[in-house]
């Protein structure tokens, strides 16, 4: 009987063998017995001889697919991922498929719930609904055309939907969404601006490579028209009937982005984001696999979407840290995109105003073609960037007097202003005025953040929370005061200073919940808010044409961080934030408040720009023998007994002691030494030679898995680690 090698989703870096009456094609899902359980695995190959010479192999229980659910390129990429990240192949293949297929669901399309108007609902003017404003909106929207149930639930409360259904104005229908089998027939290129010289060069370089592998890095200052370059490059791909996959950061996938692509080409755009149901996700997968979606836009895991006629890959804001998965299969979607483009023989575009040093290095050494856009598109000019020395200055709500005046001036000119602070909540600590005691999370030994609106103290490292105490735990004094500044407090301060203007706070607290962020972005673009206060979220590629002033508070911490990437990330953040100012006709400016105005990083960045800073930072990394000039892998271990974590990492480092090309640093405590009561340690492996590091890892892993402590202490390997928290 043929022997089938199956990848099973268990934490073992190997395949398993089963018997079956006939050979099975690689990529078919099978249900197999695994100990007492039944698991869904994927066929890797059919052979005649057992690796283990066993004649007692169990039989496959069920064959779930008639043909492979993966293309051969996808299977190859998964093998590569498994090897490169030293991750079990069964788990890699599971990560690469939609959740419903992981659970054993059918790979054939299933009906989806839609909402549409009834005949009556289509007739009556929505205003007739009187006070029921939300129902009015919903009805008006559906009168324009039906929509999927989940997309409506992302915008409206379920009670609103139910009420309208009860009134028989709208109804729910189940059906398989119409497939766009012939998008090429109605592909229609919408109005587009004439590219400027830099854009035109970029577009022609890219389109010259359609049909073969090539990687491009577009290094284009904020607002230089990168998206326009993508659009015009895509045009040639689509007219050949080929598909395009676009990755965007977690937060960049707004309806505005999608609409821009859909409108330009008059086609359906497949969207993959975290709010989809399993079935909807599966549907996009199937449609793309069948070649029925010309454009697919999605966040990190969308890189696994199959395409029947792949034509191009694009990774927008390629420096964004959300492309690196931080648990389980710790892959980098950008790196996988490079591998995929090479395998599919299609061009890859990476774009950013602030490229990651890894990508810039690849562009400078010729691995990627470097396309530079130095001019802002249209009539927009570069924002002015300045630092403000706040040493010895009185601050009101964290703001210097000069800055408050500036804000007033910009607001008076009917512009919007944007303030960035890296901390959500009201204040980063609650301190006893009498004895100096700071309330700390016992699990993490870090100060709790004060959240006044929620009336609680919350640990931003483990999420634990408790009520705000009335008295000091140490001396019983009632004189507890907030120390430092967070978004909540800054918002209050600005409302006090500028009561005649409205403000909005955008952080992960206020943007939680379906579509809250999109609502806020919409209102900002309609000028319903004049003052925007927020965290990192604000820096992510949004186009706010009316913002002319950006103020950055409290980033000094990053200037002294122990993480060698902190400087790069700060430079990216500052540049991206500055880039939000003056994106249309009105000129913009950015101010950064600091206690260290002469810091060389700030000076270089503001005087010479990110691209100069980045090239200098690359030289520094080279001297310090850090990535991208060397390659790293990181073993993390955590335990309630720090000695155990330390010992395991010592044992691991022994496995590399004979390797000439790999250097071990540590074990050392992680930057975040303790979290949720667990002590966290790290061991860094570093090598000038990527292949040597890979080889050493492959050799060592089987031994490491056998170490006695490896089954007692929680540990993980992170190849090309992006952070050391």
Q: What are the residues facing 467 on neighbouring strands?
A: 456
Q: Is 449 in the site for ligand ADP (CB under 6 A)?
A: no
Q: Is 382 in the site for ligand ADP (CB under 6 A)?
A: no
- Asked if 685 and 632 count as a contact pair (C-beta separation under 8 A), the reply is yes
389, 393, 398, 404 alpha-carbon torsion, rounded to 10°? -80
By CB under 6 A, the count of residues binding ligand ADP is: 16
Contact flags string 488-527 toward ligand ADP, x per CB under 6 A: ----------------------------------------
Q: Residue 529: which of 541, 539, 519 has the closest Cα? A: 519
Residue 442 binds which of ligand ADP, Zn ion, none (CB < 5-8 A, kind-dependent): none
Helix (H, G, I), strand (E, B) or coil at 678: strand
C-alpha to C-alpha distances, 176 to 145, 171, 181, 241, 304, nearest whole angstrom? 16, 16, 14, 24, 23
Residue 199 binds which of Zn ion, ligand ADP, none (CB < 5-8 A, kind-dependent): ligand ADP
95 or 199: whose CB is closer to ligand ADP? 199
Question: Cis ω on the peptide bond leading into residue 628 (within 30° of 0)?
Answer: yes
Half-sphere exposure of 650 (CA within 13 A, CB side): 6
In the complex, what is the shortest distance from the CB of residue 353 to ligand ADP, in angstroms, rounded to a whole number? Answer: 7
In the complex, what is the shortest distance from the CB of residue 338 to ligand ADP, in angstroms, rounded to a whole number? Answer: 21
Chain positions 524 to 583 lying near ligand ADP, rule: CB under 6 A, are: 543
472 or 606: whose CB is closer to Zn ion? 472
C-alpha to C-alpha distances, 24 to 14, 20, 297, 678, nearest whole angstrom? 19, 8, 33, 46
In the complex, what is the shortest distance from the CB of residue 199 to ligand ADP, in angstroms, rounded to a whole number? Answer: 6
In the complex, what is the shortest distance from the CB of residue 20 to Zn ion, in angstroms, rounded to a whole number? Answer: 50
Residue 424 binds which of Zn ion, ligand ADP, none (CB < 5-8 A, kind-dependent): none
- Asked if 331 and 325 count as a contact pair (C-beta separation under 8 A), the reply is yes
CA distance 89 to 95: 10
Number of neighbouring beta carbons within 10 Å of residue 559: 16
Q: Is 199 in the site for ligand ADP (CB under 6 A)?
A: yes
Contact flags string 155-194 toward ligand ADP, x per CB under 6 A: --------------------------------------xx
Residue 226 binds which of Zn ion, ligand ADP, none (CB < 5-8 A, kind-dependent): ligand ADP
Residue 227 binds which of Zn ion, ligand ADP, none (CB < 5-8 A, kind-dependent): ligand ADP
Residue 475 binds which of Zn ion, ligand ADP, none (CB < 5-8 A, kind-dependent): Zn ion
Quote the tokens at residue 564: 């060698």
In the complex, what is the shortest distance from the CB of residue 439 to Zn ion, in angstroms, rounded to a whole number? Answer: 10
In the complex, what is the shortest distance from the CB of residue 468 to Zn ion, in angstroms, rounded to a whole number? Answer: 15
Q: Tokens 């000069």 correspond to what residue?
A: 402
638, 644, 648, 653 alpha-carbon torsion, rounded to 10°? 100
346 or 459: whose CB is closer to Zn ion? 459
Q: Is 664 annotated as a binding residue?
A: no
Residue 474 binds which of ligand ADP, Zn ion, none (CB < 5-8 A, kind-dependent): Zn ion
H-only helix segments in 169-276:
183-186, 197-207, 226-239, 255-265
Q: Is 78 annotated as a binding residue?
A: no
Per CB under 6 A, the list member of 118, 150, 196, 508 interacting with ligand ADP is 196
CA distance 178 to 187: 17
Residue 196 binds which of ligand ADP, Zn ion, none (CB < 5-8 A, kind-dependent): ligand ADP
220 or 249: whose CB is closer to ligand ADP? 220
The 3 state secondary structure assigned to 88-139 is CHHHHHHHCCCHHHHCCCCCCCCCEEEEEECHHHHHCCHHHHCCCHHHHHHH
In the complex, what is the shortest distance from the CB of residue 221 to ligand ADP, in angstroms, rounded to a whole number? Answer: 8
What residues have CB less than 8 Å from 620, skipping those under 6 apart? none
Residue 225 binds which of Zn ion, ligand ADP, none (CB < 5-8 A, kind-dependent): ligand ADP
In the complex, what is the shortest distance from the CB of residue 74 to ligand ADP, in angstroms, rounded to a whole number? Answer: 29
In the complex, what is the shortest distance from the CB of residue 678 to Zn ion, in angstroms, rounded to a whole number? Answer: 11
The separation between the first and the last C-alpha atoms of the chain, rounded to the nearest angstrom, is: 51
585 or 620: whose CB is closer to ligand ADP? 585
443 or 669: whose CB is closer to Zn ion? 443
What residues have CB less than 8 Å from 342, skipping those under 6 apart? 213
Residue 193 binds which of ligand ADP, Zn ion, none (CB < 5-8 A, kind-dependent): ligand ADP
What residues have CB less than 8 Å from 171, skipping those under 6 apart? 115, 116, 117, 118, 165
177 or 669: whose CB is closer to Zn ion? 669
In the complex, what is the shortest distance from the CB of residue 527 to ligand ADP, in angstroms, rounded to a whole number? Answer: 17
Per CB under 6 A, the list member of 378, 442, 600, 708 interacting with ligand ADP is 378
Question: Cis ω on the peptide bond leading into residue 204 (within 30° of 0)?
Answer: no
Residue 472 binds which of Zn ion, ligand ADP, none (CB < 5-8 A, kind-dependent): Zn ion
Half-sphere exposure of 7 (CA within 13 A, CB side): 24
194 or 467: whose CB is closer to ligand ADP? 194
Number of neighbouring beta carbons within 10 Å of residue 197: 9
In the complex, what is the shortest distance from the CB of residue 415 to ligand ADP, in angstroms, rounded to a whole number? Answer: 17
C-alpha to C-alpha distances, 375 to 220, 253, 379, nearest whole angstrom? 8, 25, 10
Chain positions 348 to 377 lying near ligand ADP, rule: CB under 6 A, are: 377
Quote the tokens at residue 367: 């691995």
In the complex, what is the shortest distance from the CB of residue 445 to Zn ion, in angstroms, rounded to a whole number? Answer: 8
Chain positions 78 to 137 lying near ligand ADP, rule: CB under 6 A, are: none
Residues binding Zn ion (CB under 5 A): 432, 434-435, 437, 441, 443-444, 459, 461-462, 472, 474-475, 477
- Asked if 31 and 64 count as a contact pair (C-beta separation under 8 A), the reply is yes
For the chain, give the longest Cα–Cα distance. Answer: 83
Helix (H, G, I), strand (E, B) or coil at 372: strand
Q: What are the residues facing 717 on neighbouring strands?
A: 635
65 or 198: whose CB is closer to ligand ADP? 198
DSSP secondary structure string, 261-316?
Answer: HHHHHTS-EEEE-TTS-HHHHHHHHHHHHTT--SEEEESGGGGG---SSEEEEEEE
CA distance 337 to 351: 13
Contact flags string 212-251 toward ligand ADP, x per CB under 6 A: --------x-xxxxxxx-----------------------
In the complex, what is the shortest distance from the CB of residue 535 to ligand ADP, in angstroms, rounded to a whole number? Answer: 20
Q: Is 462 annotated as a binding residue?
A: yes
Residue 72 binds which of Zn ion, ligand ADP, none (CB < 5-8 A, kind-dependent): none
- Asked if 471 and 477 count as a contact pair (C-beta separation under 8 A), the reply is yes
What strand order describes the sheet that includes 531-534? 384-389, 589-594, 547-553, 416-421, 531-534, 503-506
In the complex, what is the shortest distance from the CB of residue 244 to ligand ADP, in angstroms, rounded to a whole number? Answer: 16
Residue 462 binds which of Zn ion, ligand ADP, none (CB < 5-8 A, kind-dependent): Zn ion
Contact residues toward ligand ADP (CB under 6 A) are 193-196, 199, 220, 222-228, 377-378, 543
Instruction: Detail the residues annotated as belonging to a binding site.
Output: 432, 435, 441, 444, 459, 462, 472, 475
Instruction: Detail the residues annotated as belonging to a binding site for Zn(2+).
Output: 432, 435, 441, 444, 459, 462, 472, 475
């Amino acid at each position: 009987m043929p022997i089938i090698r199956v990848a099973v989703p268990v934490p073992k870096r190997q395949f398993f063998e089963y018997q079956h009456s006939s050979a099975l094609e690689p990529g078919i899902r099978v249900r197999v017995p695994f100990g007492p359980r039944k698991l869904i695995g994927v066929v890797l190959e059919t052979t005649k001889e057992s690796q283990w010479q066993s004649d007692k192999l169990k039989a496959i229980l069920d064959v779930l697919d008639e043909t492979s659910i993966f293309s051969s390129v996808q299977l190859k990429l998964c093998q590569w991922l498994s090897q490169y990240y030293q991750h079990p192949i069964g788990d890699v293949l599971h990560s690469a498929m939609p959740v419903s297929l992981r659970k054993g669901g059918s790979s054939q399309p299933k009906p989806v719930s839609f909402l549409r108007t009834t005949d009556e609902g289509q007739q009556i003017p929505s205003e007739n609904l009187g006070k029921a404003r939300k129902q009015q909106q919903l009805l008006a929207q559906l009168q324009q055309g039906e929509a999927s149930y989940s997309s409506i639930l992302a915008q409206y409360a379920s009670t609103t939907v139910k009420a309208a259904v009860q009134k028989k104005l709208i109804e729910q229908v189940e059906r398989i969404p119409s497939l766009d089998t012939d998008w090429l027939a109605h592909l229609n290129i919408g109005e587009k601006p004439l590219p400027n010289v830099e854009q035109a060069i970029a577009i022609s370089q890219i389109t010259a490579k359609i049909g073969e592998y090539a990687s491009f890095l577009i290094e284009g200052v904020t607002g230089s028209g990168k998206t326009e370059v993508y659009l015009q490059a895509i045009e040639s791909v689509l007219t050949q009937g080929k598909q395009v996959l676009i990755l965007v950061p977690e937060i960049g996938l707004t309806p505005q982005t999608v609409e821009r692509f859909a409108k330009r080409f008059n086609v359906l755009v497949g969207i993959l984001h975290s709010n989809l149901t399993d079935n909807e996700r599966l549907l996009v997968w199937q449609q793309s696999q069948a070649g029925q979606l010309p454009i697919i836009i999605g966040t990190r895991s969308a890189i696994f979407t199959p395409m029947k006629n792949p034509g191009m890959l694009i990774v927008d804001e390629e420096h964004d840290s959300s492309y690196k998965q931080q648990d389980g299969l710790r892959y980098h979607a950008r790196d996988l995109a490079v591998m995929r483009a090479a395998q599919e023989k299609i061009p890859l575009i990476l774009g950013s105003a602030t490229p990651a040093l890894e990508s810039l290095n690849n562009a400078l050494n010729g691995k990627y073609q470097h396309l530079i856009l130095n001019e802002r598109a249209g009539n927009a000019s570069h924002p002015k960037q300045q630092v403000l020395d706040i040493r010895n200055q009185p601050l009101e709500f964290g703001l210097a007097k000069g800055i408050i005046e500036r804000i007033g001036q910009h607001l008076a000119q009917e512009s919007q202003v944007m303030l960035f602070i890296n901390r959500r909540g009201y204040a980063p600590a609650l301190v006893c005025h009498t004895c100096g005691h700071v309330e700390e999370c016992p699990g993490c030994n870090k100060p709790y953040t004060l959240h006044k609106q929620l009336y609680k103290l919350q640990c931003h490292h483990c999420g634990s929370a408790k009520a705000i105490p009335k008295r000091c735990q140490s001396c019983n004094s009632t004189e507890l005061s907030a120390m430092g500044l967070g978004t909540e407090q800054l918002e209050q301060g600005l409302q006090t200073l500028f009561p005649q203007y409205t403000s909005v706070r955008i952080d992960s607290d206020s943007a939680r919940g379906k579509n809250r962020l999109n609502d806020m972005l919409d209102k900002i673009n309609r000028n319903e808010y004049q003052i925007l206060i927020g965290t990192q979220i604000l820096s992510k590629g949004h186009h706010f044409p009316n913002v002319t002033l950006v103020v950055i508070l409290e980033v000094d911490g990053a200037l002294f961080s122990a993480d060698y990437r902190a400087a790069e990330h700060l430079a990216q953040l500052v540049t991206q934030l500055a880039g939000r100012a003056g994106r249309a006709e009105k000129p913009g400016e950015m101010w950064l408040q600091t206690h260290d105005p002469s810091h060389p990083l700030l000076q270089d960045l503001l005087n010479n720009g990110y691209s100069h800073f980045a090239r200098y930072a690359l030289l520094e990394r080279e001297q310090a023998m850090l990535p991208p000039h060397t390659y790293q892998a990181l073993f993390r271990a955590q335990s309630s007994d720090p000695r155990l974590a330390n010992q395991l990492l010592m044992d691991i480092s022994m496995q590399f002691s004979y390797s000439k090309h790999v250097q071990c640093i540590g074990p050392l405590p992680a930057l975040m030494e303790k979290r949720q009561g667990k002590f966290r340690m790290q061991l860094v492996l570093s090598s000038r030679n990527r292949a040597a590091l890979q080889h050493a890892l492959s050799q060592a892993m089987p031994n490491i898995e056998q170490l006695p402590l490896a089954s007692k202490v929680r540990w993980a390997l992170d190849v090309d680690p992006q952070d050391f928290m």
